[in-house]
Amino acid sequence: MPVKLAVEVCADLRTAAEARLALARPYVAPRRPADELLHELQVHQIELEMQNEALAQTQIALEESRDRYLDLYELAPIGYMTLTRDDQIAAINLTGATLLGEERSKLLRRRFARFIVAEDRDFWHRHFMRAFRQDGSTTCELTLQRSDGTFFDACLDCLRSSSDDASTPQLRVAISDITARRKRNEEERRIAAIAFESQEGMMVTDPSGVIIRVNNAFTQLTGYAADEAIGRTPNILASGRQSSDFYRQMWDTLKACGYWQGRLWNRHKNGELFAEWLTISAVKSPEGQTTHYVGAFSEITRHLEAETEIHRLAYFDPLTHLPNRRLLLDRIAQAMAGSARSNASGALLFLDLDHFKALNDTRGHDVGDQLLLQAAQRIQQNVREGDTVARLGGDEFVVMLLNLSTDAHEAAAQTRLVGEKIREALSKPYALDGGDFHCTSSIGIAMFRHHEIAVDALLKNADLAMYEAKNTGRNSLRFFDPAMQTALEARSALEADLRLAVSRGQLQALYQPQLDDAERVVGAEALLRWQHPTRGLVPPVDFIPLAEATDLIRPLGRWMLEAACRQIRDWSASDATRHVIVAVNIGARQFHQNDFVDDLASIIRETGADPARLMLELTESLVIKDIENTILRMQQIKALGVALSLDDFGTGFSSLSCLKRLPLDQFKVDQAFVRDVASDGEDEAIVRAVVMMGQILGLEVIAEGVETTAQRDRLREYGCLRYQGYLFASPLAPGEFERFARAQAGG
Ligand code: C2E
Ligand code: MG
Ligand code: MG
């Protein structure tokens, strides 16, 4: 039974849809007409039931959807209403009613304009008419007044729509409360306005650079009132101090980064220039278009002036306004880098005015300054534009010549030419207050190329060459020579060692016996020796001049005096040595020290030596240097009970009249005359004259460097009765000296 079978099949299936699917399956058994009809009816009934079920479902969905819509409409966060052509409220949602502060039922058919504050009503009316004319939505902002009299700011979005009756269009309006937003905007505007009126000058321009707004500070800083500036471009402030390149770069940066800041000079309305620090920012729309430029600036003229002054003080000499040492060193470093690129040589000329100190001391610093200014001018006139003339201080100038030949010899020749020109210019008379003045200069030159040498070493070389120029007679030019450098380095190493000699106990005093006619020991010359840890025994000629040239002679001289005085004290205990007069050599610098006499007195006191046994040897050149002061000092020494001898006598040029004034006890004939006294007619005459002079002046005469008996005999013949020399003994250590003295005394 096919139908039953089908129903049974259907009963097995859980839903109508499944049944329908089952029925749709082909059934291949033969059918009769009544069966077929019944089957069709049954199928139809099932289909109807299915349709009913779908309808009920749809009904439920529809109701749900309407509820949702009502929820959405009524309780939306913004108000919705529909206005008729004559501004009557045709419909309004709950939110809208709440916003207007009225029950919905009371709002319908009321005119909306009633809720608009009086000031905004005209505006609303115009907007309302336009909204009806226009396709698409329109927006306006108004202040509304609720039924209870309170106010709120609203934004209305209006869209014209056709009602069911197409001929009567209506306006759908969305109302949102923007009171909070407006308040916030208002606040921001107020803050911006205050910020705009800051201490900084501010201007706002449109994208083409036309000023649309300025603040009070702008007016104060530029002199232009707002109405004078607005409508014009910042060009009104142009000073002409910046190049067009400067402005082009500024605009390039502004366009690329939307921001620029920097320093520039502008012109005040009154014509005065001022420096400002300017910051420009581009204001952009959300789409990225520049809508405005905002420029903020502050005046920095005073700041700049101070900066310039600081720079001037740091890099320039205040008297001549020439670059100082610091700037010079910078420039040398730059020049070396330049020379490395171009391969061209440069030269450093170290100039020192001869005897400038004397002028300064005798005629005063003002006159000295005048001379320096004129000298600076003359130097500058003799160099090229790119060359540097610097003043290091005092009377020292340095000239740096650039871009000389790539050939070293030719470069040196070029430099010599410039150097000679400068030297000549400087040697012309100077017109100074109180008369003309002549002054020469000594110039030392050091050449440079690439980075062969450090900057300060180069400067030092030029300085050394200048000293050489001075030593070789001044008013001359001298090139630095590397051999000179080696010698000087050795000298400075020696100086460093010598500084330690006293504290490390490396000094030693030897005593060379002085004998009388009967070959008895009557005196001793104290001679200094330096026992150097690596060089061995260093003779005084190798270090005394160095000590004299530096302040080292002071500790050295003091050490020697102390040693000699202690020796006198020690020898006073022995018969063989008690009477020995110890002679100590005193250098010029040591002698002229202010506290020399005080030092001497305290050494004598501290050692307990008998001053009558001490003699100081001074040289002729020392004595004639500053004769008046020297005599005074010699008298002070004599007053202590110490005797004085004139060493190396005959080598200087002292006149008899001068010698007569000196409080001396002894002449010491220089060994140069003694050497040839037995053979050379001229020296013989000198020795005779010296001895005679001594006799006339009532002084003792001693000969040093006596090496042969012939010399001794001849000296005795002329009347010289005291002798010192290798013939008798070389300089001896104290113990040896004592033995020698005893032997001579026949003990
Ligand atoms: P000076 O004062 O003329 O000393 C004499 C020098 O002649 C000494 O040389 C001595 O050793 C040397 N001499 C002695 N007998 C003979 C001789 O028969 N033949 C020759 N050819 N020479 C002889 P020394 O010790 O080398 O001293 C050299 C110079 O160094 C001294 O010349 C003196 O000017 C200086 N000197 C030495 N000690 C001191 C010192 O303590 N202080 C100072 N300021 N200068 C000193
Ligand atoms: Mg001597
Ligand atoms: Mg001598």
Which atom of ligand 1 has the smallest separation from the CA of 670? 3
Task: Quote the CA–CA distance of 692 and 706 in Å, as a whole number.
Answer: 19
Homologous superfamily (CATH) of 316-480 is: Reverse transcriptase/Diguanylate cyclase domain (3.30.70.270)
For residue 525, how far is its CA from the centre of ligand 1 (angstroms)? Answer: 8
Q: Which of 221, 278, 233, 230 is nearest to 253 (CA)?
A: 278
pLDDT value at 653 more than 90? no
Pocket test for ligand 1, best of 585, 622, 646, 674 (most atoms within 8 A of CB): 585
C-beta of 512 in contact with ligand 1 (< 6 A): yes
Distance, in Å, from the CA atom of 586 to the CA atom of 548, rounded to the nearest integer, reads 10
How is the chain split into domains, by residue range? 3-75, 79-183, 197-305, 316-480, 501-744
Predicted confidence band of residue 69 (pLDDT cuts 50, 70, 90): confident
- Residue 27 is classified by DSSP as -
Q: What pLDDT shows up at residue 5?
A: 40
The closest residue, in CA terms, to atom 45 on ligand 1 is 585
Nearest residue by C-alpha to atom 42 in ligand 1: 585
CA distance 440 to 442: 7
Residue with token string 């190798």:
542
Q: Which of 189-198, 276-285, 498-507 has the lowest mean pLDDT?
A: 189-198
Confidence class of residue 3 from pLDDT cuts 50, 70 and 90?
very low
Q: What is the mean pLDDT of residues 710-739?
A: 95
Between CA 74 and CA 69 the distance in angstroms is: 8
Q: Is the pLDDT of residue 597 over 80?
A: yes
Residue nearest to atom 25 of ligand 1 (CA): 527
pLDDT at 20: 56
In the chain, what's the furthest Cα-to-Cα distance? Answer: 191
Instruction: Tell me: pLDDT of 25 over 70.
Output: no
Q: Does residue 560's CB lie within 6 angstroms of at least one atom of ligand 1?
A: yes
Whether residue 11 is predicted with pLDDT greater than 60 in this model: the reply is no
Closest C-alpha to 458, from 398, 409, 405: 398
Q: Which range, of 118-122, 247-251, 651-655, averages the lowest pLDDT?
A: 651-655
* pLDDT for position 223: 94
Angle formed at CA 353 by CA 352 and CA 355, multiple of 5 degrees? 125
User: What pLDDT sits at residue 305?
Assistant: 83
108-122 per-position pLDDT tens digit: 999 999 999 999 999
- Give yes or no for residue 620 CB within 6 A of ligand 1: no
The superfamily CATH assigns to domain 501-744 is EAL domain (3.20.20.450)
What is the average pLDDT across 488-496? 78
Contacts of 714 (CB under 8 A, 6+ apart): 677, 678, 684, 687
User: 153 forms bridges with which residues in the sheet?
Assistant: 143
719 CB less than 6 Å from ligand 1?
Answer: no
Ligand 1 near 29 CB (within 6 A): no
Query: Is residue 222 in contact with ligand 1, taking CB distance under 6 Å?
Result: no
**At residue 353, what are phi and psi to the nearest 5 degrees?**
-80, 135
CB 566 within 8 A of CB 547: no
pLDDT band (50, 70, 90) for residue 8: very low
Q: pLDDT category, 620, cuts 50, 70, 90?
A: confident
Cβ of 725 below 6 Å from ligand 1: yes
pLDDT for 10:
42
Cβ of 527 less than 6 Å from ligand 1: yes
Closest-lying ligand 1 atom to the alpha carbon of residue 586: 44
Q: 386-408 b/e with 16+ CB inside 10 Å = b?
A: ebbbbbbeebbbbbbbbbbeeee
What is the H or E stretch that residue 283 is in? strand 273-284
- φ, ψ (nearest 5 deg) of residue 720: -90, 115
Question: What confidence score (pLDDT) does residue 548 get?
Answer: 84
Specify whether the CB–CB gap between 269 and 292 falls below 8 A.
no
**Nearest CA among 345, 449, 447, 349 for reference residue 403:** 345
Rounded to an integer, the average pLDDT of 466-485 is 81
pLDDT of amino acid 542: 87
The pLDDT, as a whole number, for residue 12 is 46
Token duo for residue 64? 């749900």
Q: DSSP string of 73-101? A: HHH-SSEEEEE-TTSBEEEE-HHHHHHHT
Which residue's CA is the closest to the ligand 1 atom numbered 22? 705
User: What is the pTM assigned to this prediction?
Assistant: 0.48
Query: pLDDT value at position 452?
Result: 72
Please report the pLDDT score of residue 410 as a whole number: 84
List the beta bridge partners of residue 353: 441
**CB of 585 closer than 6 angstroms to any ligand 1 atom:** yes
Collapsed DSSP state (helix, strand, coil) of residue 281: strand
Tell me which ligand sits closest to the C-alpha of residue 583.
2
Residue located via tokens 């603040």: 215
Centroid of ligand 1 to alpha carbon of 258 (angstroms): 86
The CB of 369 under 6 Å from ligand 1? The reply is no
CA of 585 to the centre of ligand 1 (A): 9
Task: Name which of 249-258, 370-379, 522-531 the model is least confident about.
Answer: 249-258
> What's the CATH code, domain 79-183?
3.30.450.20
Summary mean pLDDT of the chain? 88
**H or E element: which one contains 49?**
helix 33-75
Please give the full DSSP string across 311-369, using - where no structure is assigned: HHHHHB-TTT--B-HHHHHHHHHHHHHHHHHH---EEEEEEEETTHHHHHHHH-HHHHH
CA 494 – ligand 1 centroid, Å: 20
Instruction: Give the model confidence (pLDDT) of 450-459 as tens digits.
Output: 777 889 889 9
Least confident of 252-266, 330-344, 364-378, 480-494: 480-494
Among 235, 294, 244, residue whose Cα is nearest residue 267: 235
Residue 469, strand partner residues: none
Which pLDDT does position 485 carry in this prediction?
A: 61
Neighbours of ion ligand 2 (CB under 5 A): 585, 617, 647
**Residue 389 and residue 401: Cα distance in Å, rounded?**
9
Ligand 3 mean position to 671 CA, how many Å? 7
Angle between helices 408-427 and 365-381 (to 10 degrees): 140
Domain 197-305: which CATH number of 1.10.260.40, 3.30.450.20, 3.90.79.10, 3.40.1190.20: 3.30.450.20
* pLDDT of 139 above 50: yes
Instruction: Spell 203-224 as b/e; 16+ CB within 10 A means b.
Output: bbbeeeeebebbbebbbebbbb
The 3-state DSSP class for residue 566 equals helix
CA distances from 436 to 273, 376, 732 (A): 45, 17, 58
Q: How far is the CA of 84 from the centre of ligand 3 (A)?
A: 136
- The reply to whether domains 79-183 and 316-480 share a CATH topology is no
The rounded distance, in Å, linking the Cα atoms of 232 and 269 is 14
Q: Give the bridge partners for 669, in sequence order.
A: 649, 703
pLDDT in tens, 664-694: 999 999 898 898 887 877 778 888 888 888 8
Pocket test for ligand 1, best of 530, 704, 727 (most atoms within 8 A of CB): 704
